[in-house]
Chain A
């Protein structure tokens, strides 16, 4: 696998405005539950509205400062900056705030500070237009 960053695939992790990590092949998803209200006389919904929203993200590999890894795994929240145009955060980009890790893998022999198949959730997403 090439280590060359590919456009729109990598993200920067920021903790208290300081860059602390880097996520490769990031995938983000936002989901909203649908709330349907039906009347007694029709099969079709009388009302359909978006309900609770959740933001999920995952990445193939995550590299962080060794000292911070314990903190992140303990649930410390951080920010992910995910650009569509490339790695440097030039607009347009999305800022995923309140991110935390929910799952990860680590192969035997893997260096400290690197996690594989990382998944997590976020509190909010703010898109920044160009």
Chain B
């Protein structure tokens, strides 16, 4: 079973599957819950000039229940940053994130702000808020 022929065949099948992966990427994305779950559990690594090599975890649906109810935008941002860092560095506390030096915090915010929870919010009717007309 473990002959070299079999290993060569396995390598050929692997190549075929890798080709299929590329093709499916070109043909269009296929919803794959298993792959999404795997991605959510994988840490992302960025090499930032200010922060150095930093790892963080993507926010999940479940995380939104933690930061969603926080009304204060500053506290909400801190919680989101903490949630993302905690996935890679379990010892990081919310207080440690709160007291992070401003230069590093600013660089990290560039990463945090790319998360979907920071998408611009429009008012319900799509209209901009207006002030009362002066009498």
Q: Is A3 an interface residue (CB 8 A)?
A: yes
With A87-B10, A107-B27, A108-B27 known to touch, is A113 a contact of B16 (CB < 8 Å)?
Answer: yes
Q: Tell me whether A89 and B2 are in contact (CB under 8 A).
A: yes
Q: Is B35 an interface residue (CB 8 A)?
A: yes
CA distance A88 to B17 in the complex (A): 18
- Which residues of B sit under 8 angstroms from A107, Cβ to Cβ? 24, 27, 30
Task: Please indicate which of the listed interface residues B1, B17, B23 has the most CB atoms of chain A within 10 Å of its own CB.
Answer: B17
Q: Which residues of B contact A129 (CB under 8 A)?
A: none
CB distance from B80 to the nearest CB of A (A): 28
On whether the beta carbons of B21 and A110 are closer than 8 Å, the reply is no
Cβ–Cβ < 8 Å partners of A19 in chain B? 1, 5-6, 9-10
For residue A22, which residues in chain B have a CB less than 8 angstroms away from its CB? 9-10, 13-14, 17
Q: For A56, what are the chain B residues with a Cβ–Cβ distance below 8 Å?
A: none
Q: Which residues from chain A sit less than 8 Å from chain B, CB to CB?
A: 1, 3, 5, 12, 14, 19, 21-22, 24-25, 60-61, 63, 81, 87-90, 107-111, 113-114, 116
Q: Are A3 and B2 in contact (CB under 8 A)?
A: no
Partner of A61, one of B2, B17, B26: B17
Q: Give a binary string over B1-37; 1 marks a CB under 8 Å from any A CB, 0 the rest.
A: 1100111011001111111110110110010101100
Interface centre among A1, A24, A90 (most CB of B within 10 A): A1
Q: Is the CB of A114 within 8 A of B17?
A: yes
Separation in Å of the B19 CB from the closest CB of chain A? 7
Q: Are the C-beta atoms of A3 and B23 separated by less than 8 Å?
A: no
Chain A residues whose C-beta falls within 8 Å of the C-beta of B1 in the assembled complex: 12, 14, 19, 81, 89
Q: A110 near B20 (CB under 8 angstroms)?
A: yes
**Is the pair B16, A111 in contact by a Cβ cutoff of 8 Å?**
yes
* Nearest neighbor of B39 in chain A, beta-carbon distance: A1
A64 to B, closest residue via Cβ: B13
* Contact, CB under 8 Å: B20 / A111: yes
Give chain A nearest CB distance to B66 CB in angstroms: 29
Determine which of B9, B24, B35 lies in contact with A110 in the assembled complex, contact meaning CB atoms within 8 Å: B24
CB distance from A5 to the nearest CB of B (A): 7
